[in-house]
Structure 1
Amino acid sequence: MQLWDFAALTYYRALDRFTGPLNRLAVEKLELRPGDAVLDIGCGTGALIPSLVEAVGPQGRVVAMDFSARMVAIAKKHEKWPNVEVRQADACTTDHGAGQFDAAVALGAFSAMPDVPAAIANAADALKPGGRMFVFDVRLKRDTRSTRFLRTAYRLIAGFTGADVVAELRKVFESVEPVFAVEGETTTTVMATKVTDTATRSPCTPSRPEG
Structure 2
Amino acid sequence: MTTTQRGDRTWTFASRTYYGALSRFNGPMHDLALHHLGLEAGDSVLDIGCGTGATLAALRDAVGPSGRVVGVDYNAGMVDRTRKFLRRKGIDAEVREADATREPHGYEEFDAMIAITAFNAMPDVPAALRLAHDALRPGGRLFVFDVRLVPSSGFVEGTITRLLRFGYRKLTAFTGADIVDEVERVFGTVDRIGVTPRLTILLAHKKA
Aligned partner of 2:117: which letter? G
Distance 1:145 1:104 in 2: 34
Q: CA RMSD in A?
A: 1.2
Residue of structure 2 in register with 1:150 after alignment: 164
Look up the match of 2:149: 140
1:44 equivalent in structure 2: 51
CA distance in 2, matches of 1:159, 1:153: 11
1:24-58 per-position Cα deviation (integer Å, ceiling 9, x unaligned): 11111100000000000000001111110011011
What's the TM-score once normalised by structure 1's chain length? 0.88
Q: In structure 1, the residue corresponding to 2:175 is in which secondary structure?
A: coil
Deviation at 1:185, TM superposition (A): 3.6
Query: Which residue in the other structure is 1:200 paired with?
Result: none
How do 1:92-107 and structure 2 match up within 5 A? 92-107=101-116
TM-score, scaled to structure 2: 0.89
Deviation at 1:184, TM superposition (A): 3.1
Q: State how far apart, in whole Å, the 2-side matches of 1:142 and 1:191 are.
A: 23
Displacement of 1:187 in angstroms is: 0.3
**In structure 2, what is the Cα distance between the partners aligned to 1:171 and 1:162?**
16
Higher share of residues assigned helix: 2
Asked if the contact 2:57–2:91 (Cα under 8 Å) also holds between the matched residues in 1, the reply is: no
Task: Give the superposition deviation at 1:170.
Answer: 1.0
Partner of residue 14, structure 1: 21
Equivalences for residues 15-164 of structure 1 within 5 A = 15-76=22-83, 77-78=85-86, 80-82=90-92, 84-143=93-152, 144-164=158-178
1:174 equivalent to 2:188? Answer: yes
Identity of aligned residues (%): 50
Amino acid at match of 2:98: A
Inter-partner Cα distance in structure 2 for 1:146 and 1:9: 29
- More displaced stretch, 72-81 vs 28-37: 72-81
Q: Tell me how far apart the structure 2 counterparts of residues 27 and 73 of structure 1 sit (CA, whole Å).
A: 25
Cα drift, residue 142 of structure 1: 3.6
Give, in whole Å, the separation in 2 of the partners of 1:20 and 1:185: 24
Aligned to 1:189: 201
Offset of residue 74 of structure 1 = 1.1
How far is 1:6 from its partner?
0.9
Unaligned 5+ segments in structure 1 are: 197-211
Number of matched pairs: 193
Mapped partners of 2:146, 2:112: distance in 1: 17
- Deviation of the 1:3 alpha carbon: 1.6
